[in-house]
Amino acid sequence: MLLFTIVGINFSVAQQSLNELSPPEYFDFWIGDWELRWGNSDGTIGKGTNNIEKILDGKVIKENFKATEGAMTGYVGKSYSVYNSKTGKWKQTWVDNQGAYLDFTGRFKDEQRIFRRETTNEQGDQIIQRMVFYKIKKDSFMWRWEKSEDNGKNWEILWKIAYRRH
């Protein structure tokens, strides 16, 4: 019965607006097992899975991403997200099997949850990268990976994924 209660809590959090949640709950909608689909540039469909769980006494969100079909098959990554009550900010660290290490800070705009970072491209120019979680519902949401080369005035969508609860 406890399992059903926990799942019920996660579903109800997905339906609440940011105004109704405390900052440590802002990403609780993400907890669970997800099936993923995205369109590739060649017109094919990519698929994957993502298992999101709370660890370390419920203080850390651990992501386990895996691309299972399409051009990115075999791509695997993990992230760790935590709300820092001292700074009042969400932080995320992403690592993957291609050797990437990315560090993000969480921001919130309207009903979107956004992890963002500033870095430089190969030419040494400053760019902003961000992940945007949006259209959040009980059993689905959309996710975009974007970059801006003009300090956030314009955004280029690099990857868009549809999430469905498994």
Per-residue pLDDT of 56-83, as tens digits, reads 999 999 999 999 999 999 999 999 999 9
Distance CA 50, CA 38 (A): 13
* pLDDT tens, residue by residue, 148-164: 999 999 999 999 999 99
Query: H/E element holding 2?
Result: helix 2-15
Cα 62–Cα 67–Cα 68 angle in degrees, nearest 5: 125
| Domain boundary assignment for the chain | 2-165
pLDDT band at 3 (very low <50, low <70, confident <90, very high): very low
Q: Which residues pair with 92 in a beta bridge?
A: 81, 104
Q: What does the pLDDT look like over 98-123, one tens digit per residue?
A: 999 999 999 888 889 999 999 999 99
Contacts of 5 (CB under 8 A, 6+ apart): none
Q: What is the pTM of this model?
A: 0.86
Identify each DSSP E strand in 24-154 by its residue range.
32-39, 45-55, 60-69, 76-84, 89-96, 101-109, 112-120, 126-134, 140-148
Q: Any bridge partners for residue 93, and if so which?
A: 80, 103
Topology given in CATH for the domain delimited by 2-165:
Lipocalin (2.40.128)
